[in-house]
Each structure stands twice: as structure tokens, then as C-alpha cells.
Chain A
């Protein structure tokens, strides 16, 4: 093999660089801190569904609400957890409690690098920050 030394050194450098995210994370103490969400400041303690469900499925729930309100014209959502009836509205029902978009929505969405386009049109509550 010609230039064996250069090739092996090159390979080693490549492997180190390519795996750098893995061992850098290991050295620097694991993954970055999980975002802390601001809980509702208006005193409410329960969401339309359980916390686990909302954490995992809120995007599907919101899509469902959108289709029900716009396409079917139905506006009442009956919670399967508590049986309470809610107005299917992002800017009213959701943001009534989670009034701080930056500390609630954006905190997780930035962390997980997703950019939903809700706020291109829907209006975030004023004076939340």
C-alpha cells in the first residue's frame, strides 16, 4: 500500500471528526437541559386532556379542532378525561391559560427544531412577556 501512513492518519482524523457530536456530548455531560415550560399563571390546573396525552398528541388534537371548526362548523369539544366542554379555539381556549407563547410553545418547538406555522395567521396574546 502506497502512502499507508497518510491514509491511516487521514482515516483516524475523519473518524474522530465524524463522531465528534457523540463523544463531545459524552464529555460535556450528556444532552442539553430539557426545556422548562411555563405553567399557566391564571390558576388553572388541568388541560383539556391529560398532560401525557397533550404532550404527545397536541398537534393531532389541534389539527382535529381545526378541521371540526372550519370544515364541519362544530365548535364544542368534550374532554374525554373530564367530560367538560371546551371551545375549540387555539387563540381563545389554549392561549387563555398558556398565555406566554415564547415560554410555552416556542420553548419545546425550538428544542425539537420544529416550526409549526400556526402563528403565521393566528395571533399570539398581547402583553404576555
Chain B
């Protein structure tokens, strides 16, 4: 009897040591995998957008041009005076609302109520793709775009709940009657499907820039590869003060907003010319 108890205690002790050993290894692995999410993926192409808020002002027609170009190109319905059914890929809100988590006090005069273009942030660590039960939305390995497959979406709207930026819209109604001029080259959606910005992946495939970037004629929105140190987006981020929406959540949003004083525009003007003549590969 005594011998048995002795054996049992030995075994129990060994098991405890073994369990402690395993659990001391596991957190290290978990730590390593979290660390890899902490920074933007360093391999391949990582597309990102830089919106230069210095170049936007209240009542700017460019805002409408961007929204219209995008929504026309992608057959986004306009339910006019029916906010409950609103569908949007890119839209504008004032600066304080767009960055409400920053809790700005006594902010610079020119930033007050500044129109700020908002769209899907194509997060490097997107919460929306994790919750999708059908993999209808996922992050592309090759360029980091958070894609949508409308064939697969079952309309559960879990991604809408997961997205901290309100970038996703749901088609409560058949969108077709609410589209004035249908662009035949691009599909519409059907009732019961979630939609959002795709960084114009269909245009990128044809070697074009996103529609909202294309309507800008003074680099108000710059688009490019974050992993290329010579890209325009990287140059701007290196030189200017840029913030991201709700960066503290750890989603690694890839749309940056330059909030420098507009007066710095004059000093950047010659630099911009140099960039162009150097022919930096930014697309």
C-alpha cells in the first residue's frame, strides 16, 4: 500500500513537472505569433493609402468627385433620403468625428470640421475576416487588400459588427432600383449581401489606380506599396505627421491621414517636383 502511494506521488510529480514544461513553452509560441501581427507584414506588396488632409477644405468639390467616381464605378446604390438603407464605400465626415477616439481638445483651427474621406482601412490585422463564417471576406496574401467575394456572402453581418470603422454596408433592399446609371462592366450586389471598398482591385488588375485616387490631380490621395521604401506613400509617411483611425485597437489600418499644418504645403512643393522627375515607382 505504501509502495503504491509512493509510486503514485512520483508519477503525479513527474506529470506536474511535464505540464509546467509544456505550459512554459506555449506562451512563448503564442507571444511570437502575436508579435508578427504587431507590425505591418514586411514581405511582398502591402498596399496602403495616404490622404493628405492639408489639401482638403470645407465644401471641397473634390470630396464629392471622389465619392461619385467610386460609387458610379462600383454600382453602389444611392437610397437618397433613406439613411437606414445607406450603402457606402467611401464617404466624408468631419475630422473630430473621424478621429473621435483621439479626444482632441483645443485643436488647430484648420482641423476643426475638416472634411475627412473615410473608407475601408484594409487593415493588416482585420477583425472582419476572422469572424466571417464562409470566408466571403479575407485578406489577400499578395497585396494585403481585404477582399470580398459576394458570391459567398450569406449576409450574416458579423463582419459589420466586427469592423470598428463602419466601413461595411448591408443591402437591406434590392440595390438595383437605387442605381441611376448602371456600369455594365462591374456587377451590382443583390439583397442580403455586405459590401465595402476593395481598393479597386479590378482597376489595379488593369494597371490603373483606384478611382478616388485617379480623380485627384494634386496628390490629395496617394496610393502605393508600403513595403517599398521608395514608394510615394513611404516618402510621405517619412516626411509628414500622419495618423490612423483607432490605431490603438491593433487592427493595423492601412489608410493614413496627414495632419500637418497646411502651411507646410509650400515647403513641400519643390520636393514634390523632385519626386516626379526622379520617377519613383509608386503605383
- Residues of A at the B interface (CB closer than 8 Å) are 66, 70-71, 73, 75, 91-92, 117, 120-126
A125 to chain B, nearest CB (A): 6
Interface contact tally, CB-CB below 8 A: 32
Interface of A: prevailing SS: loop
A121→B189 contact, CB < 8 A: yes
* Chain B 221-233 near chain A by CB (<8 Å), digits 1 or 0: 0000000000000
Interface of B: prevailing SS: loop
Counting contact residues on chain B (CB < 8 A from A), the size range is 10 to 19
Please indicate the chain B residues that have their CB under 8 angstroms from the CB of A73 in the complex: 140, 142, 201, 205
Please indicate the chain A residues that have their CB under 8 angstroms from the CB of B189 in the complex: 121
Q: How far is the CA of A101 from the CA of B184 in the complex (A)?
A: 14
Cβ contact of A126, chosen from B142, B149, B184, cutoff 8 A: B184
B151 within 8 A of A: yes
For B183, give the chain A residue with the smallest CB separation: A123
Q: How far is the CA of A92 from the CA of B185 in the complex (A)?
A: 7
Known: A73-B142, A75-B205, A91-B187. A123 touches B182 (CB 8 A): yes
B169 within 8 A of A: no
Q: How far is the CA of A73 from the CA of B202 in the complex (A)?
A: 9
Q: How far is the CA of A62 from the CA of B190 in the complex (A)?
A: 19
Known: A70-B151, A73-B205. A122 touches B187 (CB 8 A): yes
Please indicate the chain A residues that have their CB under 8 angstroms from the CB of B184 in the complex: 91, 123-126
A91→B151 contact, CB < 8 A: no
Interface residues of B in 133-180 (CB under 8 A from A): 140, 142, 147, 149-151
Q: How far is the CA of A66 from the CA of B150 in the complex (A)?
A: 11
Please indicate the chain A residues that have their CB under 8 angstroms from the CB of B187 in the complex: 91, 121-123
Please indicate the chain B residues that have their CB under 8 angstroms from the CB of A121 in the complex: 150, 187-190
A/B interface sample: 16 pairs, CB < 8 A: A70-B147, A70-B149, A73-B140, A73-B201, A73-B205, A75-B205, A91-B185, A91-B187, A117-B190, A120-B190, A121-B150, A121-B187, A121-B189, A123-B184, A124-B184, A125-B184
